Structure 1
Amino acid sequence: MGEIFVLEYSQDIPEASLYEIANFCVLSGSELIYAENGIALISGSVSNISDSAFVKRISRVIEIKDRQEAISGESLPPGKFYVRFLDGSDCHGSSLESYLGGILGGSGRVSFSSPDFIVRVYHLEKWYVAIEIFSGNSSQFEKRRAPRRPFFSPISMHPRIARFLVNVSNAPKNGTILDPFCGTGGILMEAGSTGRQVVGIDMSLQMTAGAKLNLKYFGIRDFSIITGNFLEVEIPNNIDAIVTDLPYGRNSPMHRQDILELYRKSMEKFGKILKRGSRCIIAVSDLQMLPGALPDFTILKVIDNRIHKSLTRHYVIMERR
């Protein structure tokens, strides 16, 4: 067994969080040992998990004990620190932190203002002493929310969801992601922020101009934005994955029959663009629109996200056959 890491993840959409973490593990050859109540244990590598949409914190385990009394702190590096405790079993409170600091040798070494490292202790089936190596900053997503962009549409996907869809597309870091209905560029911004090249298409000149403005504003330079009908546009032959929020009733003037036909023709073209084994990730609001439109794809996973009483978004993860 390799190094063990503890991940703390958001439970806003638990199914999405766990799928993303498991997908990262598959890509890195790591093993997901445990995942429950917002805490996951991984054996192996955590490379690229800092790009996660939902992982809030990563800590490297330095000590595993069956009982809290057995914790010694002998593996702690020199320097000042403070302790934070999280109980996945809900049988201890945060008041245990001062006790843990003591048995970890914190006398004269505890500093909340200028620590050299942060010790995180987790109680699951066993006791895990770990050193924090990554702490996510939710503001990175908040600053790219629609109202904070130079150009935005009121109906826009949250950056965290867009990042999740990009991550599970499995496009390589230097690969190219296509969003054929890019709108103001929300998905492209998250793909570009993780080092991918991006291609966006939209019929609206206003939207493509706005998408370019947004991408430049957030420091993304490696992009191509095309104004036109996706079904008629010639697509570059270097597309590694397709990630898109398909037009739907709430933000499209099209009638249902027209949307059904658009879905069918779009999926047909997606199949021609992607190589076998590549992924196509779509967001839809009505799964009944998809049957009969997927002859070239295998559905790997569908994740539901209830936005409010009358709207549920479905994130469909597919692989080209």
Structure 2
Amino acid sequence: METRYAFELSGEHPTIPRSEACALLEICSSGYAIVSEAERCLVVEAGDLDRSRLGFRMAMTHRVVEILAEAEPSPEGLAEAAKSLDLPAKTYKVRAKRLGEAPLGSDEVERMVGSALWKRGYRADLKSPEIEIRALVTEEGAFLGREVARADRAGFRARRPHLKPFFHPGTMLPKLSRALVNLAMVREEERLLDPFSGTAGFLVEAGLLGIRGLGLDVQEGIVLGSRSNLEGLDCALMVGDAARLPLRDRSIEGAVADAPYGRSALIQAGSRDELLAGSLAELRRVLIPKGRMIYVDDRPVGESIQDAGFEVLETHAERVHRSLTRQIFVCR
């Protein structure tokens, strides 16, 4: 049986949160359909959703609410929605989130829904409620229900690159790393390859999800240092060349590759174009049929990716600073 859910998406990126949510729905449910979309809110119908697995994996979705009632974003609409809620006779608290240009603020929504529940005979308890009602309000609609999944935002903060045992400037933040691992749609116990592993940020996030990670880097010192970041995780690192992978054909379920930018690429590979072509050919060889690859570069290399035999499913741009914008290609 399908249930309706509202995903409260992060505002940290304009396109990746929605794509990550859809990838996770593919992984964590028996099937889904998008019902509606608004700024920072995705409403879907999904069957057999593994809620704990979803919450454990997600990075750029703040929370997921199982929708029990929905209405127009107006005082009258909220009152009607609150009247229709089928709740047990327990104490409650209402928490609301205004998304985008919604016409009602969070405090207003909490008061309106709380008042309607109080009039129905429910008793509020703001400190230790037995039930917490979540309300997500957008410009197009209001959604009331129960929170069923929440991202571990504190965990991402604790894993910021400079707090890890081994650090190198320019490392991608763990929340984005986790989102890209999810976009690769690799499941638990499957293998994820990072052919430019650096300080192993992708592998850390993959390992925490129960994915078997494998990373390569051409610099022995980087590999030795990065092993300390992977302690306790089912991940392996080796010194190696992304254009000559020591792996069997069709042996890897997914890959995330953040190609090196600048002088290191020129020194190690002769030219960046040479490195691009060689790494793409090898990734095409070692990935299973229909396996996903996330390729990150600071150049628009989509045509080269297609020439290497991949289908580009999505592209995203992530501005790092004035002189660097990452181009993110989701490929199959």
TM-score where L is the length of structure 2: 0.87
For 1:294 and 1:281, the matched residues in 2 are separated by: 16
SS at match of 1:183: coil
Give the CA deviation at 1:134: 2.4
Asked whether the equivalents of residues 305 and 312 of structure 2 are also in contact (C-alpha less than 8 Å), the reply is no
Judged with a 3 Å threshold, the aligned counterparts in structure 2 of structure 1 residues 255 and 241 are, in CA distance, closer, same or farther, namely closer
Asked whether the equivalents of residues 267 and 293 of structure 1 are also in contact (C-alpha less than 8 Å), the reply is no
Counterparts of 1:223-242 in structure 2, within 5 Å, are: 223-235=235-247, 238-242=251-255
Asked whether the equivalents of residues 68 and 85 of structure 2 are also in contact (C-alpha less than 8 Å), the reply is no
For 1:273 and 1:294, the matched residues in 2 are separated by: 17
SS at match of 1:195: coil
- 1:43 counterpart letter in structure 2: E
Q: Does 1:79 align with 2:85?
A: no
Give the CA deviation at 1:9: 0.9
Unaligned runs of 5+ in 1: none
Q: Percent identity?
A: 24
- 1:23 counterpart letter in structure 2: A
For 1:117 and 1:197, the matched residues in 2 are separated by: 38
For 1:277 and 1:172, the matched residues in 2 are separated by: 14
Which one of the candidate residues 180, 185, 189 is aligned to 1:165?
180
Which one of the candidate residues 79, 85, 88 is aligned to 1:69?
79
More helix by share: 2
Asked whether the equivalents of residues 244 and 282 of structure 2 are also in contact (C-alpha less than 8 Å), the reply is no
Give the CA deviation at 1:78: 3.6
Which residue of structure 1 lines up, in the alignment, with residue 277 of structure 2? 264
Q: Show CA shifts across 1:153-212 (max 9, x none).
A: 011011111111110111122210011110110010011111100011112222112221
SS at match of 2:221: helix
Q: Show CA shifts across 1:213-260 (max 9, x none).
A: 1011xx42x122112223344215631111111111176453996111
- 1:198 counterpart letter in structure 2: G
For 1:126 and 1:181, the matched residues in 2 are separated by: 44
**Alpha-carbon RMSD:** 2.4
Give the CA deviation at 1:87: 4.4
Deviates further, 52-61 or 127-136: 127-136
Give the CA deviation at 1:122: 3.4
For 1:251 and 1:40, the matched residues in 2 are separated by: 41
Q: Show CA shifts across 1:274-315 (max 9, x none).
A: 122111111100115863773221111110111121110011
Judged with a 3 Å threshold, the aligned counterparts in structure 2 of structure 1 residues 283 and 81 are, in CA distance, closer, same or farther, namely same
SS at match of 1:242: strand
Which one of the candidate residues 109, 115, 120 is aligned to 2:134?
120
Which residue of structure 1 lines up, in the alignment, with residue 14 of structure 2? 14
Q: Does 1:37 align with 2:39?
A: yes
Asked whether the equivalents of residues 20 and 164 of structure 1 are also in contact (C-alpha less than 8 Å), the reply is yes
- 1:2 counterpart letter in structure 2: E
For 1:292 and 1:209, the matched residues in 2 are separated by: 31
Unaligned runs of 5+ in 2: none
SS at match of 2:316: strand
Judged with a 3 Å threshold, the aligned counterparts in structure 2 of structure 1 residues 192 and 74 are, in CA distance, closer, same or farther, namely same
For 1:306 and 1:102, the matched residues in 2 are separated by: 44
Asked whether the equivalents of residues 78 and 112 of structure 2 are also in contact (C-alpha less than 8 Å), the reply is no
Give the CA deviation at 1:316: 0.7
Asked whether the equivalents of residues 61 and 130 of structure 1 are also in contact (C-alpha less than 8 Å), the reply is yes
Q: Does 1:180 align with 2:195?
A: yes
Q: How many residues align?
A: 316
TM-score where L is the length of structure 1: 0.89
